[in-house]
Structure 1
């Protein structure tokens, strides 16, 4: 086992779960939650902070600020605590309460947006708040995960080659689409190396990432209420949209077999299962990326009656969340 002095120095990169035994799926799940931030977002957070330090944007006395539905906020909280930065995370009402408490325990100030923007939903409201904050005080440094090239470069540099080393004959890769940093980094890596790997993006119903009408989404992580700036659809071979009820069912089915993963992972597994069922006549080596683990979802995804008991009548504004 390694001996470390900085939390970003540890990240389990070689763990896969063969889902044939648990779910009957011919799918290997790359588990990205075994680090001190508990999710794949530690990779992008480290890449973006390191770049900001190299460029001189992030200096002693600066205050990090970022919009996040949860996991990136935790990752930046870990890094800020270890490097001595103040950090303000702007999230919204859908963020899991354990995630908020975790960030606060790491010394992060958390601001929760309660009302979505009428046109761009909760994400638009969060970004508007961050923009106004940065305009009011130049001490604030916004990494802006939605446009930061380090977001996808982190996965170009790490995640994709990790998968290629373990599965040199990979046929298809399933990646959840949020900011699309993971998706774009992996897709670009395989495309540039001319490996014929089919890239399948998994999105959630109600997201506008690949077009369509915005709808209410309860599970944080995947999906966007504004088109992702990092997305280049030319790198994506197929798209599967998943109902949140199916994502929750996938999480609970895995938990019944002893594997607890987050809502984003449930979405990816459900989408991968749909795609593989349509291609069952082919013998394929398939991998899906699991962004996080399930402990932060105990009050939501894993609570009986959720999300029905958390829903209020949906006003027109909330449909754009």
Structure 2
């Protein structure tokens, strides 16, 4: 029986869902939402805060500040509450209401950016706000998930080895790309593993991460309007861009089978099953990473009026638009 004293001590690392019965393809979904922060971001948040404490960057009066679309904000808010720091999350209007309330319930503060930067979108505007806060008061400490190597190291040391232990014959790994911390950590780990693993990044249509044209994105989590500093494309074998409507449909298909996941998971599952549908999977072992669960998306992805207002009345019935491309 596990007994803990701080919330970051618990994380379920070894739970997978076999999606064969839901989608018709052998795909094992690694569930990362079973911890007190509710997402995979707990790993990166813990690694970054631990490192900042070791390096002496955090003092008793420090105020952690971070730009986040939601999940990292909750994770940092939880750790801050656990360790006695204050935390300020800078997000934008796409952040789920449940996420904002979770951060505030943990005793911390949320700043919501309502206008995107003309060139770098909401992410650029959020980062600009963080920089201004840090310049105004030296108590602010920005961990900067977009360039902090401890973001990917968390997954190099934990997520990659966890998957390798569970699936020693792994052939293909599908990972969503946001800050690319999970992607880079796992890709680096498997690059030096004992057998080749094809690492496939799943991105959102409208994201500029891999050089695609910028476009409207309403689902928080995956995709960026500014290329992540952590990204090294030499570790990625293929990129699959997924339209948000396809991500939404994948979420609803999972929910009809009793599994309530978030938008990032729907994006990853849509891209992964699209790829599997065009390849011989008879002897293939494939794993995808599900970053979080679906409770924080009940007012958006699982709310009919919101869906139809954003994507139109036929959002759940229109044909899939997913595709993919190879990286040299």
Is this a same-fold pair by TM over 0.5?
yes
- 1:224-249 per-position Cα deviation (integer Å, ceiling 9, x unaligned): 00111000000000110000000000
Q: Structure 2 CA distance, aligned partners of 1:219 and 1:108? A: 23
The match for 1:200 is: 200
Matches within 5 A, 1:39-50: 39-50=39-50
Q: Offset of 1:309 from its aligned partner?
A: 1.5
Q: Structure 2 CA distance, aligned partners of 1:119 and 1:228? A: 15
Deviates more, 1:229-238 or 1:302-311: 302-311
Unpaired segments ≥5 residues, structure 1 = 313-321
- The answer to whether the 8 A contact 1:12-1:35 is kept is yes
Secondary structure (helix, strand or coil) at the match of 1:307 reads helix
Q: Structure 1 CA distance, aligned partners of 2:281 and 2:99? A: 42
Q: Offset of 1:79 from its aligned partner?
A: 0.1
- The answer to whether the 8 A contact 2:172-2:285 is kept is yes
- The answer to whether the 8 A contact 2:26-2:281 is kept is no
Matches within 5 A, 1:232-251: 232-251=232-251
**Distance of aligned partners of 1:86 and 1:304 in 2 relative to their CA distance in 1, 3 Å threshold:** same
- 1:102-149 per-position Cα deviation (integer Å, ceiling 9, x unaligned): 110001100000000000000000000000110111100000000000
**Distance of aligned partners of 1:19 and 1:281 in 2 relative to their CA distance in 1, 3 Å threshold:** closer
- 1:222-274 per-position Cα deviation (integer Å, ceiling 9, x unaligned): 00001110000000001100000000000001101100000000000000011
The match for 2:81 is: 81
- The answer to whether the 8 A contact 1:218-1:307 is kept is no
The match for 1:120 is: 120
Secondary structure (helix, strand or coil) at the match of 1:158 reads helix
The match for 1:301 is: 301
User: Runs in 1 of length 4+ with deviation above 2 angstroms?
Assistant: 280-283, 305-308
Secondary structure (helix, strand or coil) at the match of 2:34 reads coil
Secondary structure (helix, strand or coil) at the match of 1:226 reads coil
- The answer to whether the 8 A contact 2:245-2:311 is kept is no
The match for 2:277 is: 277
Q: Structure 2 CA distance, aligned partners of 1:212 and 1:182? A: 20
The match for 1:156 is: 156
The match for 2:183 is: 183
Q: Structure 1 CA distance, aligned partners of 2:268 and 2:308? A: 22
**Distance of aligned partners of 1:106 and 1:281 in 2 relative to their CA distance in 1, 3 Å threshold:** closer
Secondary structure (helix, strand or coil) at the match of 2:266 reads helix
Q: Structure 2 CA distance, aligned partners of 1:311 and 1:75? A: 30
The match for 1:12 is: 12
Q: Structure 2 CA distance, aligned partners of 1:270 and 1:295? A: 19
Q: Offset of 1:59 from its aligned partner?
A: 1.2
| RMSD after superposition | 1.2
Q: Does 1:135 align with 2:135?
A: yes
- The answer to whether the 8 A contact 1:209-1:228 is kept is yes
Unpaired segments ≥5 residues, structure 2 = 313-328
Q: Offset of 1:311 from its aligned partner?
A: 7.6
Q: Structure 2 CA distance, aligned partners of 1:99 and 1:262? A: 12
The match for 1:319 is: none
| TM-score normalised by structure 2 residue count | 0.93
| TM-score normalised by structure 1 residue count | 0.95
The match for 1:146 is: 146
- The answer to whether the 8 A contact 2:23-2:273 is kept is no
**Distance of aligned partners of 1:174 and 1:297 in 2 relative to their CA distance in 1, 3 Å threshold:** same
Deviates more, 1:276-285 or 1:73-82: 276-285
The match for 2:256 is: 256
- 1:66-85 per-position Cα deviation (integer Å, ceiling 9, x unaligned): 00000000000100000010
Q: Offset of 1:25 from its aligned partner?
A: 2.1
**Distance of aligned partners of 1:245 and 1:188 in 2 relative to their CA distance in 1, 3 Å threshold:** same
Q: Structure 2 CA distance, aligned partners of 1:308 and 1:82? A: 40
